[in-house]
Amino acid sequence: VIRCRAAVAWAVGKPLSVEEVEVAPPKAGEVRVKIVATGICRTDDHILEGCFPNVDFPVIPGHEGAGIVESVGDGVTSVKPGDKVIPISLPRCGECSFCLNPESNYCLKSHFSGSQSLLPDKTSRFTCKGKQVHHFLWVSTFAEYTVIPEYAVAKIDAAAPLDKVCLLGCGFPTGYGAAINTAKVKPGSTCAVFGVGGVGLSVVMGCKAAGASRIIAIDINKDKFAKAKELGATDCISPHDFKKPIQEVLTEMTGDGVDYSFEVIGHADTITAALASCNMNTGVCVMVGVPASGSVISVDPMLLLSGRTWKGTLLGGWKMRDCIPKLVSSYLEKKFNLDLLITHTLPIAKVNEGFELLRAGKSIRSVLLF
């Protein structure tokens, strides 16, 4: 058993508490990882707000981390102690019908088909003050040491800086892949990105990499526009500056709507606006943001009848366990620059300060270091 620090969420609506926790050794098929760095993602904030009914408290959040394998359980062959790894919140068992489908990146063992508050054997490896503490998405990267199923860990290049590539655990591949894999943005096309936080800016980077000629960033926080333009946005607009619906503004700006729109907020009204803003015949709208559990969206069926395509994406469509090592290599080859997304680096003791920066719209990505 290892005793270490972790940021524990004891209840909905309460700040995280940095505690000493006990982390049990890995069982068969599991890996214990020393987390070096972890990003703060909006999804972690959704946990604290109680948006996910299948998350049990107390829980150690965090799902955008990078670290070093400390030990492995029986039967683990893909990683060994000392390997650098990125835990992945969308696992890949390699055996289910979805994993075997070349067009799918989902795994039937993952959290949408059942709670991931406990490891697959329905037990926890965390205790604190004599109480069981739950896992989050099987990764819980807000703990200095965490135990993860082998099929939710990706081995990466030993040269990778963990305080940068931790973003490849969620935010960057989700946005970048939404443009590259899910929408399949074509050169010369027009794109609209609703919400330009860390994931939205990664969508902008993906649209630019795909050769889009016009990338319109939409956000109510104008402080984010300079970074959006630095990363490839050609236009930046705020809905607050117009009296008419934003989809009408975008249609007027582009003639007949954009070729691709991306909703990276998770609100019902912006999801329908994003759908309506792409052109009626061949436009593609991709849902990237996560709506609160139980949300309902009302849509005029004529928006789809004329030919629009409406799609969702999970982790940008990447088969994460296979693709993360390749994305790390692309980062090391300077094919994209993750560093531009990191605005704050904080010690784990200041985890709540990182969430305040997120909620105030003052950060793109804050990285916590142990």
Sole residue written with tokens 């620059």:
337
The DSSP bridge pattern shows strands 126-128 and 131-133 to be: antiparallel
Mean pLDDT of all residues belonging to the chain = 95
Burial of 334 (0-12, 13-18, 19+ CB in 10 A): exposed
**From CA 73, how far away is CA 61, in angstroms rounded?**
23
pLDDT at position 156 over 80: yes
Say how far apart CA 115 and CA 111 lie, in whole Å.
5
Q: If you ran DSSP here, which 8-state letter would residue 185 be given? A: P
In the three-class reduction of DSSP (H, G, I as helix; E, B as strand; rest coil), residue 71 is classed as strand
Give yes or no for a contact between 268 and 285, defined as CB atoms under 8 angstroms apart.
no
Amino acid at 185: V
User: What average pLDDT does this structure show over 161-168?
Assistant: 98
Q: Above 60 in pLDDT, residue 213?
A: yes
Nearest to 33 by CA among 1, 63, 72: 72
Question: What tokens does 324 get?
Answer: 């993360």
Average pLDDT over residues 106-123: 83
> What is the band of 36 on the pLDDT scale with cuts at 50, 70, 90?
very high
Q: Tell me which of 55 and 68 has the higher pLDDT.
A: 68
Residues 251-275, mean pLDDT to the nearest whole number: 96
pLDDT, residue 301, reads 92
Place of tokens 């309460």: 14
Confidence of residue 112 (pLDDT cuts 50, 70, 90): low
Amino acid, res. 192: A
Q: What are phi and psi of 133, to 5 degrees?
A: -115, 140
If you ran DSSP here, which 8-state letter would residue 97 be given? H
Please say if the pLDDT value at position 147 is more than 60.
yes
pLDDT, average across residues 191-204: 97
Hey, what CATH topology would domain 175-313 get? Rossmann fold (3.40.50)
Report the pLDDT averaged over residues 281-302.
90
Q: pLDDT tier at 285 (50, 70, 90 boundaries)?
A: very high
Please say if the pLDDT value at position 288 is more than 60: yes
Residues 6+ apart with CB under 8 A from 135: 59, 60, 116, 117, 118, 119, 124, 125, 126, 146
CA distances from 286 to 75, 231, 254, 264, 276 (A): 39, 20, 18, 9, 12
pLDDT at 317: 96
Give the burial class of 219: count Cβ atoms within 10 A of its Cβ; 0-12 exposed, 13-18 middle, 19 or more buried.
Answer: buried
| pTM of this structure | 0.95
pLDDT for position 114: 64
Boundaries of CATH 3.40.50.720 in the chain?
175-313
Q: Give the DSSP H or E segment for 180.
A: none
Query: Is a pLDDT exceeding 80 seen at residue 101?
Result: yes
Which CATH number is associated with domain 2-169+338-369?
3.90.180.10
CATH 3.90.180.10 domain extents, the chain: 2-169+338-369
